[in-house]
Structure 1
Amino acid sequence: MVQDRFGIYLHIPFCRAKCRYCDFYSAPGTREVPQPFVDALLRELRNNHRRPDTLYFGGGTPALLSPTQVRSLIEAAAPLPGAEITLEANPDVVSQQSLAGFREAGVNRLSFGVQSASDPQLRTLGRTHTADGAALALAWARQAGFDDLCGDIMLALPNYTNAEFDATLDLLQTGGCTHISAYLLKIEPGTAFARHRPANLPDPDAAADFYLYAVKQLEAAGYRQYEISNFARPGHEGRHNLLYWNCRDYWGVGPSAHSCLGNVRRFWPDDTDAFVAGTLTEQEEGICDAEDFLLMQLRLTAGLDWDEYVHRGGTPLDARRKAFLRQCVGHGYAEFDGRTLRLTPAGMVVQNAILEELM
């Protein structure tokens, strides 16, 4: 991978409604992105003189931006030719006109938060779209000329079944998705679900089974797993997120956005008003060290190059770790050829325990 690849992440902290599981910094109850906020992003982008080859609009709900606002931000970021430019969207906030406008503005990759093909489940999650609405949004996106379409599936929801997963996969596959993110529901502190835990959640063993079933079905449908929660048709892997997992440079802009530049991690505090006013400054979070590299690389099916880990300051393999890795291989959790360590899907289920032992 090219060493000097660089990405920009723009955090758009506005959404119509807060989902019950969401712990991202966002301001619900808005139907558009205020122009002063866009002006603040443009102000910060003027300080950057490094052209990115990935640009990612995340949120919140970035599709609340107007195509004109998106165009101005893309022009300010000045991405390189052939750059991957991704915009996250909720199915119910887009239209044929807005999707055509986003494509014309330069967006070439859309990521839809579909989560489930079950309308009752979507209501439980606090989503404001329907399964039919998601299918229509995907059709509109194809009509607008988007060849890279991503869809999210949330696993192990209340009263979850393999049939619900199959229906959601069918919706995304029929809708033309080239990339699918499938991840387990996690009850995060401060969320509505943390305050009022939903009934009939699968236990950890059942959740693990749902994950392994999803991996198997996605592979059978032609979506190759390349990261713990991400699957893509060949050539459609997410280039921006690969920067994170490969510990490459990326710059986040906006309240709550994070960066890693030159192995130094930084972040913007959660304060939209101060960001707009220009009184918010990035804070240093720490160094991206060898342990961060290990943690990120073991998310990838390509695995961890142990020599590179040691080169970055990690601990060489000792007798204890070698014995532990032999156990992991024997139990079907990992593959290890003496240099590259790869976790299997079963190993990814227990990734935290493996990381704890290795670190």
Structure 2
Amino acid sequence: MSLGLYLHIPYCFSKCRYCDFYSHPGERGVPDAYVDALLRELARFAPDAPLRPDTVYFGGGTPSLLSPAQVGRLIRAACPVSGAEVTLEANPETVTEESLWGFREAGVNRISFGVQSARDTQLRTLGRPHTARQARAAFAAARRAGFENISGDIMLALPHYTQAEFDETLELIEEGGATHISAYLLKIEPDSAFGRTPPEGLPTGDEAADFYLYAVEQLEHHGYRQYEISNFAKPGYEGRHNLIYWDCGDYLGLGPAAHSCMGGKRFYYPADTAAFLQDNAAPVMDGGCGAEDYLILQLRLRKGLSLPQYKALYGKEFSPVQLAFIRNCVKNGYAAFDGTTLALTPAGLIVQNSILAELL
């Protein structure tokens, strides 16, 4: 069984207008005291021997505000297995060729750039602190630093969005050498700046769905195979860390607001950095991970849900009513079903929540 380690870095230059992740804006680096606190928790979960995760993921916030030396301390303490995937999320304006070389030397072998759009006007609307030129420079610097596994994020259905904007963004990321692309629909979160003051020119739900289907088609055409609702990869470059989540594997999340699931038990740290630094934020138990979670997560994946595996793991089978609903989904182009595997099509992934509501 694979083990994933997630390290939350809650520091960033500024809060993007769509973001509701737990983070501290206005920072220009990560305090050593925070790295020390992560190391403390790592030792707490693995007191007698190194953790030896199969994947390590630095998420945020803006993990590229860490110094290469800090990243190196954390990777050495975790002691990932040989061949582990070690990912660092990075904002284009925060990296230099020197820092990228340093991250590579520290043990990072996968870099993920938050690009979102190739249009500077749109980036300003989103509250992103980088420019398209900086994004291009970051990709080029990453390649020169020796990164072969590079991911880029695209945000879809933005204010006043067009297919041409998607095409320009895909071109920037593809020419940058990306082997993996995450393409997300903009979601207006209530606790974000956009949630408090929604931007003008947002596409309708039907228009957003059309942008999504266009993105899937174009990404596939450019050699990025869809393997999950929002994730596309060149063959062999699927994100191994996130696949642990979607396959209901074990993962340990360290840091304020970080979530974990170990041995079927879920827990999380309170969203309180001060308490985390002071060793005053014990993880909170959050129930178990069972058949319902497995069904939901497997149907995010294009490979779909294996019914024999579902039965073997949880003793669950679909009822005649559920099977009739599935056949109706197939008839309407929302799913493929061969009697043993149920997989949603891109059209089905758009309405996944409605399909899950019926199946659950």
Deviation of the 1:310 alpha carbon = 2.9
Corresponding residue for 1:137? 138
1:106 paired with 2:103, answer no
Corresponding residue for 1:160? 161
Corresponding residue for 1:68? 69
Corresponding residue for 2:338? 337
Corresponding residue for 1:25? 22
1:276 paired with 2:273, answer no
Kept in 2, the 8 Å contact 1:32–1:64? The answer is yes
Kindly tell me the number of residue pairs found equivalent between the two proteins: 356
Give 2:7's match in structure 1, choosing from 4, 7, 10.
10
Structure 2: how far apart are the matches of 1:349 and 1:314? 28
Corresponding residue for 2:347? 346
Kept in 2, the 8 Å contact 1:16–1:31? The answer is yes
Q: Please give the residue correspondences for 1:1-359 in structure 2 after superposition, counting only pairs within 5 Å.
A: 4-47=1-44, 48=46, 49=49, 50-313=51-314, 315-359=316-360
Residue 314 of structure 2 aligns to a residue whose secondary structure is coil
- Output the amino acid matched with 2:15: K
- Output the amino acid matched with 2:102: G
Deviation of the 1:314 alpha carbon = 5.9
Structure 2: how far apart are the matches of 1:351 and 1:173? 28
Structure 2: how far apart are the matches of 1:149 and 1:100? 14
Q: Which moved more, 1:273-282 or 1:44-53?
A: 44-53
Structure 2: how far apart are the matches of 1:44 and 1:317? 41
Provide Cα deviations, 1:235-287, integer angstroms capped at 9, x if missing partner.
Answer: 00000000000000010000000001001111001010111111111111011
- Output the amino acid matched with 1:162: Q
Deviation of the 1:97 alpha carbon = 1.0
Provide Cα deviations, 1:23-71, integer angstroms capped at 9, x if missing partner.
Answer: 1000000000011000001111122243101000000000000000000
Provide Cα deviations, 1:78-115, integer angstroms capped at 9, x if missing partner.
Answer: 00111100000000011111111101111000000000
Structure 1: how far apart are the matches of 2:200 and 2:307? 43
- Output the amino acid matched with 1:305: S
Structure 1: how far apart are the matches of 2:228 and 2:166? 19
- Output the amino acid matched with 2:210: D
Residue 20 of structure 2 aligns to a residue whose secondary structure is coil
Structure 2: how far apart are the matches of 1:44 and 1:128? 32
Structure 1: how far apart are the matches of 2:250 and 2:341? 23
Equivalent pairs: percent with the same residue?
63
Structure 1: how far apart are the matches of 2:39 and 2:316? 43
Where do 5+ consecutive residues of structure 1 fail to align?
none
The alignment's C-alpha RMSD in Å is 0.8
Deviation of the 1:307 alpha carbon = 2.5
Structure 2: how far apart are the matches of 1:326 and 1:67? 52
Structure 1: how far apart are the matches of 2:53 and 2:316? 33
User: Which consecutive aligned stretches of 4+ in structure 1 deviate over 4 angstroms post-superposition?
Assistant: none
Kept in 2, the 8 Å contact 1:291–1:314? The answer is no
What TM-score do the two structures reach when normalised by structure 2?
A: 0.98
Where do 5+ consecutive residues of structure 2 fail to align?
none
Structure 1: how far apart are the matches of 2:243 and 2:319? 29
Structure 1: how far apart are the matches of 2:129 and 2:319? 52
- Output the amino acid matched with 1:38: V
Kept in 2, the 8 Å contact 1:289–1:312? The answer is no
Deviation of the 1:322 alpha carbon = 1.1
Deviation of the 1:311 alpha carbon = 3.3
Kept in 2, the 8 Å contact 1:9–1:57? The answer is yes
Deviation of the 1:315 alpha carbon = 4.2
Structure 1: how far apart are the matches of 2:318 and 2:7? 39
Provide Cα deviations, 1:118-167, integer angstroms capped at 9, x if missing partner.
Answer: 10000000000000110000000000000000000000000000000000
Structure 1: how far apart are the matches of 2:244 and 2:15? 28
| CA gap 1:230/1:144 in 2 versus in 1, 3 angstroms | same
Kept in 2, the 8 Å contact 1:109–1:148? The answer is yes
- Output the amino acid matched with 2:135: A
